Amino acid sequence: MNNKQPVLPFWQVWNVSFGFLGVQFGFALQNANVSRILSDLGADLHSLALFWLVAPVMGLIIQPVVGSASDRTWNRLGRRRPYILAGAFAAGLGMILMPNAPLFVTIMAPMLFGALMLALMDASFNVCFQPFRSLVSDMVPASQRNLGYSVQSLLINIGAVIGSILPFVLTNVAGLNNTASPGQVAPSVIWAFYIGATVLLGSVLWTVFRTKEYAPSDYARYKGLQTDSEDKTEKTGFFKLVATMPATMKQLAVVQFFSWFALYIMWVYTMPAITQHIWGVDKQWFDPAFIAAAGSVPADVIAAKGAAGDWVGILFAAYSVFAAVFSVFLARLADTFGRKTVYASSLVLGGLGYISFLISGDISPVHVNLFITDVTVPQGAVNLVFPMIGVGIAWAAILAMPYAMLAGALPADKTGVYMGIFNFTVAIPQIVAGLTAGWILSRVFENTAINIIVVAGVSMLCAAVAVFFVKEKEIHAVASQNTAGELQ
């Protein structure tokens, strides 16, 4: 009996990961536009961070549960695919409904409805992400792990780039309006979410119907598991798994804390930060009480918010492009200089990128050719593309290095649940940021949002220092590397 896992044709490796493109497409739309949507619906700068809390809370709750459940699921559709499919349909529903929050004003306040749809979307993204990560680990043999990771990284970043710039393209190429009066959502954003939902469902369906998972007996044979491994997975208590997780995972948790604290701040506050600092919009126009007292928002303020919101998509697409390029060289650099050196250096560049937002305040207009269209934006907006190089390099390292440093530590029969547990190190720092960043911004910085971006930079530098306190587990056999390189 052949116990060697079959080598997959290239296009089957592609099919296994193709759904990542759509999920990341939707996730990128969420990251670049949710603060914009909630702000238009009436959220102030302090409450933005609190609304965003639903994202890490959903990850904290859902990923371990779904990971553990998918480890024990075997049915006609497979092991991971039922969860991927269910998550995609729920995420698509949330993406269609969220930008239409004003239509549901007779049921509840639009801002509350928007927050609930954010919770639905992020919960659904987590239901997709966790089994997708495990599916790649299940299906791709050790000899193709580098190929599998390269394809996955490429698809993730393609989805991120297109999702981030889509509202900008719909405005500047398709001609849709990118402005919204208070309580409404810009048409360009609404249609971007419709397109995102379609791409998400289409790409996930492609993976689900073009990938055939292994039968339980074949999977156990290829992974070298005992036939009773499923029973053992069920009997191992969740809290015992947490208590006995590898020491490297615990040390990486410190690095993860400072890294994801910074990323959360970027996703929440880049839009108000550049609107104030570069487009010159006074911070009072982010205060719902002031806007209510004023009676209306000036047309130039509305236009500046729309333009800044579109440019956030350009910046987020830029760091995804730089991340994709850097990820091509990341493995070779890590082999040459060591994982710690490359990881720490990448985080330093990211931290310096955030801090350099401070010196990008030039508001003089400049004409820019973006190939797909020409736009006129402040010079400072163009200057921000350069800090995105450092942010992109840090992002690529954050997506790869922690998991590479955990290589060989996770047993094949508990891959899903351990991936979910490690997601605690992603969710918890975001929760802390959500509870504290808004308070810091309002009480310490008096709603000057550029300063909270600098805090993100300092946090990223702290993460770089923490890298050198991580002790990697030695890898004695390639076959034991059940999870290296397949995580987003």
Does any domain span residue 5? no
Q: Say if residue 226's pLDDT is above 70.
A: no
pLDDT in tens, 140-184: 787 776 677 677 777 888 898 899 899 999 998 899 998 888 788
Higher pLDDT, 170 or 107: 170
Percentage helix, strand, coil for the chain under 3-state DSSP, each rounded to 5: 75, 0, 25
The pLDDT, as a whole number, for residue 213 is 86
Higher pLDDT, 129 or 236: 129
φ, ψ at 347 (rounded to 5°): -65, -35
Burial (0-12, 13-18, 19+ Cβ within 10 Å), 257: buried
Residue among 361, 263, 208, 271 at smallest CA distance from 56? 263
Higher pLDDT, 488 or 88: 88
| Neighbouring-strand partners of residue 377 | 366
For the record, the structure tokens of 485 come out as: 């390189």
Does any domain span residue 2? no
Over residues 281-288, mean pLDDT: 91
Q: Rounded to an integer, what distance in angstroms lies between the CA atom of residue 439 and that of residue 258?
A: 18
Helix (H), strand (E) at residue 367: strand 365-369
Residue among 124, 151, 148 at smallest CA distance from 136? 148
- Kindly indicate the confidence band of residue 390, based on its pLDDT and cuts at 50, 70 and 90: very high
Q: Rounded to an integer, what distance in angstroms lies between the CA atom of residue 433 and that of residue 70?
A: 30
Q: Are 376 and 335 in contact (CB under 8 A)?
A: no
Residue among 349, 340, 361, 353 at smallest CA distance from 449? 361
- Kindly indicate the confidence band of residue 414, based on its pLDDT and cuts at 50, 70 and 90: low
Q: Say if residue 202's pLDDT is above 90.
A: yes
- Per residue, the 3-state secondary structure of 210-267, as one string, reads HCCCCCHHHHHHHHCCCCCHHHHHHHCCHHHHHHCCCHHHHHHHHHHHHHHHHHHHHH
Residue among 484, 488, 486, 404 at smallest CA distance from 149? 486
Q: Which residue type sits at 74?
A: W
Q: Are 42 and 180 in contact (CB under 8 A)?
A: no
Intra-chain end-to-end CA distance of the chain, in Å = 34
For the record, the structure tokens of 6 come out as: 């079959």
Helices (H) and strands (E) in the chain, counts: 19, 2
12 CA to centre of own chain: 25
Over residues 32-53, mean pLDDT: 84
pLDDT in tens, 321-336: 998 888 878 878 888 8
Does any domain span residue 486? no
Burial (0-12, 13-18, 19+ Cβ within 10 Å), 3: exposed
Q: Say if residue 10's pLDDT is above 80.
A: yes
Q: Say if residue 245's pLDDT is above 80.
A: no
CATH code of residue 132: 1.20.1250.20
Q: Which residues contact 384 (CB under 8 A, 6 or more apart)?
A: 274, 278, 315, 357, 360
Does any domain span residue 44? yes
Over residues 104-131, mean pLDDT: 81
3-state secondary structure of 78: strand
φ, ψ at 372 (rounded to 5°): -85, -20
Q: Rounded to an integer, what distance in angstroms lies between the CA atom of residue 413 and that of residue 123?
A: 24
Phi-psi region of 406 (alpha: psi -120 to 50; beta: other; left: phi over 0): alpha
Does any domain span residue 253? yes
Q: What is the sign, positive or negative, of the torsion defined by CA atoms of 302, 365, 392, 156?
A: positive
Burial (0-12, 13-18, 19+ Cβ within 10 Å), 217: exposed
The pLDDT, as a whole number, for residue 350 is 98
Does any domain span residue 229? no
Does any domain span residue 485? no
Does any domain span residue 115? yes
Please give the model's pTM, rounded to 2 decimal places.
Answer: 0.78
The pLDDT, as a whole number, for residue 411 is 63
Number of structural domains found in the chain: 1
For the beta carbon of residue 61, count every other beta carbon within 10 angstroms. 14
Q: Rounded to an integer, what distance in angstroms lies between the CA atom of residue 397 and that of residue 379?
A: 29
Residue among 31, 257, 45 at smallest CA distance from 122? 31
Q: Rounded to an integer, what distance in angstroms lies between the CA atom of residue 423 and that of residue 63?
A: 7
The chain-wide mean pLDDT, for the chain, equals 84
Higher pLDDT, 117 or 227: 117
Q: Rounded to an integer, what distance in angstroms lies between the CA atom of residue 407 and that of residue 182?
A: 49
Q: Rounded to an integer, what distance in angstroms lies between the CA atom of residue 148 and that of residue 125?
A: 21
Q: Say if residue 487's pLDDT is above 60.
A: no
- Kindly indicate the confidence band of residue 433, based on its pLDDT and cuts at 50, 70 and 90: very high
Residue among 80, 207, 205 at smallest CA distance from 137? 80
Phi-psi region of 416 (alpha: psi -120 to 50; beta: other; left: phi over 0): alpha
Q: Are 271 and 39 in contact (CB under 8 A)?
A: yes
Higher pLDDT, 254 or 217: 254
Range of the domain at 37: 10-223+235-480
